């Protein structure tokens, strides 16, 4: 499916949600830094419309500077709403011209999964820093190509992993790093929602998505296991279930997987596009930690064996993009480096392989700390 066909389909599918309500009123935070970096959003579907653009109205260290879309209507609407320079509005064919735009420092790839590698690499070649939405690509090979392109161009690469800047998640990581409760023994996580929308949406089209629940919510589910354990797992076995094959014709509906760690810890995850669940529970030698919900946009909630957790709630996307801007400016390490996205595709590939081989245990040849941020 080429970009023109995709643009036509998305305008009739989930991307059409952008037409249902107006964009948020434009405003700038009083505390925006003088060194604020310009962000270009590539793809103006529901996530850009309802999450990223509103968050960029509140960020302190970056701001919306350009957009890339295949829809002339969206181009006009976003230009008017966000007071963009008409010369900073691109389509997929002239995207390369963004290299000549000094107002753009960061390119955020918010396209269907099949387009992540192409546009991440094109952004790197344009000498722009890159944020890539999950999953990083359709294969681990694509991830390596993106990492190599960014290194060759001398630009920073980050994943659109909002939870790594979210306070409840960060507290869990801190507790694990400091071994507050000792070694992990058993961890369970779920990340699932019920999909009943347009059957023609791109997430149900395997050529665009590369997979179903696992390539979407599943990333949250097994990432939760990893940061709750404090290291990468050593093996995985998995199973797939389908109760609505007439709807999920090409993509996986529900997947469960079991993980093992070198220290003997065990983990269990479930992800689905047909059930509603969002939870993390980690049992340690000397206590436990629970987040519920654990990965939604709405405020997270958590508690430990010592009592409830209570943190200020802000836009996760705002925190994520500000953190990446600070990383570019040399003020902090990268919270979600490209290697993390590569690691996650290696795990996804192992899960799909296990399913193909009847639930066989697959060894994960991933270094314990590969893909982890220096912060946690």
Q: Are 291 and 272 in contact (CB under 8 A)?
A: no
d(CA 260, CA 45): 37
Q: Are 228 and 184 in contact (CB under 8 A)?
A: yes
Q: Positive or negative CA dihedral for 58, 51, 142, 360? A: positive
C-alpha closest to that of 291 among 135, 134, 165, 170 = 170
DSSP of 275-315: EEEEEEEEEETTEEEEESS-S-SSPP-EEETTEEE------
d(CA 51, CA 318): 9
d(CA 17, CA 48): 11
Ordered strands of the 302-304 beta sheet: 307-309, 302-304, 287-291, 274-284, 184-194, 266-272, 254-260, 235-241, 362-363
Query: Is 134 noted as a catalytic residue in this protein?
Result: yes
Query: Is 83 noted as a catalytic residue in this protein?
Result: no
Cα angle, residue 350 at apex, residues 284 and 6 outer, rounded to 5° = 115
* Marked catalytic residue, from 47, 92, 108, 134: 134
Judge residue 100's burial from the number of C-beta atoms within 10 Å of its C-beta, 0-12 exposed, 13-18 middle, 19 or more buried. exposed
* Marked catalytic residue, from 108, 220, 227, 284: 220
Known catalytic residues are: 134, 220
């Amino acid at each position: 499916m080429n970009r023109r066909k995709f643009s036509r389909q998305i305008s009739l599918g989930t991307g059409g949600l952008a037409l249902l309500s107006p964009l948020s009123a434009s405003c700038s935070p009083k505390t925006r830094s003088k060194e604020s970096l310009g962000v270009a959003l590539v793809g103006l579907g529901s996530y850009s419309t309802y999450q990223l653009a509103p968050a960029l109205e509140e960020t302190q260290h970056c701001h919306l500077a350009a957009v890339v879309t295949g829809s002339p209507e969206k181009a006009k609407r976003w230009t008017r709403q966000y007071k963009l320079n008409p010369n900073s509005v691109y389509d997929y064919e002239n995207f390369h011209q963004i290299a000549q735009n000094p107002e753009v420092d960061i390119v955020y790839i918010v396209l269907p999964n099949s387009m992540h590698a192409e546009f991440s690499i094109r952004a790197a070649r344009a000498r722009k820093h890159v944020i890539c939405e999950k999953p990083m690509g359709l294969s681990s090979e694509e991830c390596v190509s993106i990492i190599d392109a960014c290194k060759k161009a001398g630009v920073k690469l980050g994943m659109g992993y909002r939870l790594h800047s979210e306070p409840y998640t960060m507290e869990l990581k801190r507790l694990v790093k400091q071994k507050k409760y000792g070694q992990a023994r058993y961890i369970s996580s779920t990340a699932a929602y019920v999909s009943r929308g347009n059957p023609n949406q791109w997430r149900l089209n395997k050529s665009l998505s590369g997979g179903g629940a696992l390539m979407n919510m599943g990333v949250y589910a097994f990432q939760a296991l990893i940061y709750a354990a404090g290291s990468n797992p050593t093996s995985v076995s998995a199973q797939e279930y389908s109760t609505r094959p007439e709807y999920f014709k090409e993509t996986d509906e529900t997947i469960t997987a079991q993980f093992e760690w070198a220290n003997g810890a065990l983990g269990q995850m479930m992800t689905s596009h047909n059930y509603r669940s969002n939870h993390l529970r980690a049992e340690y030698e000397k206590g436990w930690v629970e987040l519920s919900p654990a990965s939604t946009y709405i405020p997270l909630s958590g508690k430990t064996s010592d009592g409830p957790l209570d943190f200020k709630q802000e836009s996760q996307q705002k925190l994520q993009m500000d953190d990446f801007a600070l990383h570019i400016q040399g003020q902090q390490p990268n919270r979600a480096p490209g290697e993390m996205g590569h690691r996650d595709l290696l795990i996804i590939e192992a899960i799909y392989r296990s399913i193909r081989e009847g639930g066989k245990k697959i060894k994960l040849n991933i270094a314990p700390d590969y893909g982890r941020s220096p912060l946690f």
